[in-house]
Chains A and B, each alone.
Chain A
Amino acid sequence: MKQTVIDNVKDLFGSGFRRKIKEANSLKELRKRLLHKKIQLEKKVDDCDSGSERKLLQKKVRVLDKQISKIDSKLS
């Protein structure tokens, strides 16, 4: 019982908890950057003259969508 309580307290206030908070914050930061990058790329798609480069930009947007949704599922 004593050990369980200690473990719970450690989990809540210990380094694991702090690490999780830090990790979540850096993931949020990463999400923000990826979202910003996605918006910029969407703008670039319309201006692109080259067919294969436009295709690559569209793929980049799709990949970013997937990466952002992966972050969302980790944060939820």
Chain B
Amino acid sequence: MYKRVMMIAIVAVLSYGLWISPDFTEITAGVAIFLFGMLSLEQGFNAFTGGMLEKILKKTTDTLGKSLFFGVVSTTLMQSSSLVSVITISFMSAGLLGLAAGIGIIFGANLGTTTGAWLIAGFGLKVKISAYAMPMLIFGILLVFQKSKYAKGIGYVLAGLGFLFMGIHHMKEGFDAFKDTIDLTQFSVPGYPGLFLFSALGIFATVVMQSSHATLVLIITALSAGQISYENALALAIGANVGTTITAIIGALSANVQGKRLAAAHLVFNVVTGVLAIALIYQFVWAVDHLSVVFGIGADDYTLKLALFHTLFNLLGILVMLPFINVLVNGLEKYISSKAKGISEPRFLYSSAIDFPDTAVEVVRKETLHVFANAMRLIAKGISVHPARIRRSEPIEQVVYESAKVINVDMEEAYERRIKGLFGEIVKFIIKAPFNWQSSQSGRLYWLRDANQKLVEAVKDTKHLRTNLNAGITNENPSVRQAYNSMRIQIAILLRELYVTGKREDENEEEEDALLEMDALKLMVADAERERQQLITDQLRAGSISPTVATSLLNDSGYTQDVCKSLIEFGETLFNRDDEESANEREIALEPAEIDELTEARLNEANSY
């Protein structure tokens, strides 16, 4: 309701302005073109986020200093702190970046965004930038129609810059013409009342346009045309700085708790910086005047002085906030805590991750490990072993023999609740992936979907196995118990091996040689099947089990094999990557015939010759 009223009010004010003043039309059209340029610029830089930007971010944010530096440089280059904060939120939500590092980037981005004011004040208003806008638009649009993703990206960046320049030109022209009709400086308010009023106006303008950059351009062009006083321009710049946090807050709405914490950190930083700037306004003005002399800025060059003020108060904000970064992190973790998510709810999938291919793959991989954790619980309970005991390092035989009681679990209900829903969410997420991704990224997503499918198969086979296994482990006949316990041991070992490897992979991100470890598990399964068949045959010959029981045991041994094979295939799919190391591992991994050569039976055959 509030949004609708706001929208109607804005449309009404704009329509009235456009009706009565052609200069107002020129200014607002300039803002619209400028904002369109920002969108185009972001779209262009998004073309490079398909791995490259994410890789740089991953490597350059391990210390607070580096995070700050990354924030400054990336925002200076892309001229969009919004894009940087959205990428940072995505990375944090995927668990690839810590809160402190994220805050470092946001602090840096705040400083980086002040370069925009320098560029506009120092270059945009002094050079006839509209002359560059046309060729940029022409070449930009030409590149946009190319097939190559990067050419398209460069095209959007060029066209975006063209639109930005054109927007600035129209705003400047509009204010210059406006000056002849009406002098807005008559509405200037001196002193602290003006400071508060114009700060609030700056916040409002930035919230409406969702771009502090656009507000700053508007302020600088109005200031250069003499339509607002220098003092009020400073207040508007402070307001724009606070208002810009709205983009991060909107971005964080669909993010997880980490994203929300970062948006809150952004708000805290910008509000503290804003309060400091207002409280120390006269000291800042004094410092700007003195530093302007040092930097050779003319005493009446208010646009450049505004840029200097913008940089100074953001720099002071960083200097003041940096020593308290740990306090901020602790406070945010305390007050914005994650609601304990249900075991059947997705933990890592969130809609904005799909915009960044590498991040999307990472969240699906993490969610797959979550599905595995649920499947492991279910399979362990299905064979009547407590899941916690599989995760510990107790000898597995001891665990199985001590777990002689049947654990009651409704496999069908638990499957529906813990696996099916999550798998459905993963599939739903994957189909949202754009088709223009690199094959390595979309291929990895489909591998991960297959890995989940294998887990579903393993759970379903455990359900079949459980029918006889429950009766088998409490059977009076020790031969039957022995056969069923061997099946339980085999599955329990496999679960533990996959759990340990998956945990290592999750902690180290890319566990080395995990794919090759699956070969030993395949050998174990092949040997166990032969041994069990031999055991059942021997027991039948000795008369310790009846032919009917032997048939059931052979059937259940088959189910055990199916569970194990699905689990190993899950591991092979999960640990497979599209990189050089994984390609080498795939080349070295043993073929079925090579594994057969290593089985006990074949080794015994070889020894007997």
Q: Which of A34, A49, A63 contacts B395 (CB 8 A)?
A: A49
Do the beta carbons of B520 and A63 come within 8 Å of each other?
Answer: yes
The verdict on B398 contacting chain A, using a C-beta distance below 8 Å, is yes
Question: In the bound complex, what is the Cα–Cα distance between A5 and B501 (angstroms)?
Answer: 49
The verdict on B396 contacting chain A, using a C-beta distance below 8 Å, is yes
Q: Which positions 6-65 of chain A face chain B at CB distance < 8 Å?
A: 22-23, 26-27, 30, 33-34, 37, 49-53, 55-56, 59-60, 62-64
Question: In the bound complex, what is the Cα–Cα distance between A33 and B396 (angstroms)?
Answer: 27
Do the beta carbons of A66 and B516 come within 8 Å of each other?
Answer: no
- Do most interface residues of chain A lie in helix, strand or loop, or is the interface mixed? helix
Question: In the bound complex, what is the Cα–Cα distance between A67 and B397 (angstroms)?
Answer: 29
Do the beta carbons of A67 and B489 come within 8 Å of each other?
Answer: no
Min C-beta distance of A29 to chain B, whole Å: 9
Min C-beta distance of A71 to chain B, whole Å: 6
Given A52-B396, A62-B523, answer yes or no on A30-B513 (Cβ-Cβ < 8 Å): yes
B522: nearest chain-A partner, CB-CB: A63
Q: Which of B395, B489, B517, B598 contacts A66 (CB 8 A)?
A: B598
Do the beta carbons of A67 and B519 come within 8 Å of each other?
Answer: yes
Min C-beta distance of A47 to chain B, whole Å: 12
B517: nearest chain-A partner, CB-CB: A60
Do the beta carbons of B598 and A52 come within 8 Å of each other?
Answer: no
Question: In the bound complex, what is the Cα–Cα distance between A22 and B493 (angstroms)?
Answer: 37
Q: Give the interface residue-count category, chain B.
A: 20 to 34
Question: In the bound complex, what is the Cα–Cα distance between A67 and B71 (angstroms)?
Answer: 45
Given A30-B588, A53-B493, A56-B520, answer yes or no on A62-B598 (Cβ-Cβ < 8 Å): yes
Do the beta carbons of B524 and A50 come within 8 Å of each other?
Answer: no
Min C-beta distance of B489 to chain A, whole Å: 5
Do the beta carbons of B396 and A53 come within 8 Å of each other?
Answer: yes
Question: In the bound complex, what is the Cα–Cα distance between A51 and B585 (angstroms)?
Answer: 29
Question: In the bound complex, what is the Cα–Cα distance between A37 and B598 (angstroms)?
Answer: 19
Q: Which of B527, B581, B597 contacts A59 (CB 8 A)?
A: B527
- Do most interface residues of chain B lie in helix, strand or loop, or is the interface mixed? helix
Q: Which of A30, A34, A63 contacts B523 (CB 8 A)?
A: A63
Min C-beta distance of B47 to chain A, whole Å: 26
The verdict on B416 contacting chain A, using a C-beta distance below 8 Å, is no
The verdict on B300 contacting chain A, using a C-beta distance below 8 Å, is no
Min C-beta distance of B92 to chain A, whole Å: 32
Q: Which of A26, A59, A62 contacts B580 (CB 8 A)?
A: A26
Given A23-B584, A30-B588, answer yes or no on A50-B395 (Cβ-Cβ < 8 Å): yes
The verdict on B425 contacting chain A, using a C-beta distance below 8 Å, is no
Question: In the bound complex, what is the Cα–Cα distance between A49 and B397 (angstroms)?
Answer: 10
The verdict on A2 contacting chain B, using a C-beta distance below 8 Å, is no
A57: nearest chain-B partner, CB-CB: B520
The interface residues of chain B lying within 8 Å CB-to-CB of A66 are 519, 590, 594, 597-598
The interface residues of chain A lying within 8 Å CB-to-CB of B397 are 50-52
- Chain B CB within 10 Å — which of A34, A51, A62 has the most? A62
Which are the 9 A-B pairs with shortest beta-carbon distances?
A: A50-B395, A60-B520, A63-B520, A63-B519, A59-B523, A59-B520, A67-B588, A62-B598, A49-B395
> A27-B584, A33-B512, A51-B397 provided; 13 other pairs, C-beta below 8 A?
A23-B584, A34-B516, A52-B396, A52-B397, A55-B524, A59-B520, A59-B527, A62-B523, A62-B598, A64-B520, A66-B519, A70-B588, A71-B588
Q: What are some 7 contacts across the A-B interface (CB < 8 A)?
A: A26-B581, A53-B493, A59-B527, A64-B520, A67-B589, A70-B588, A74-B588
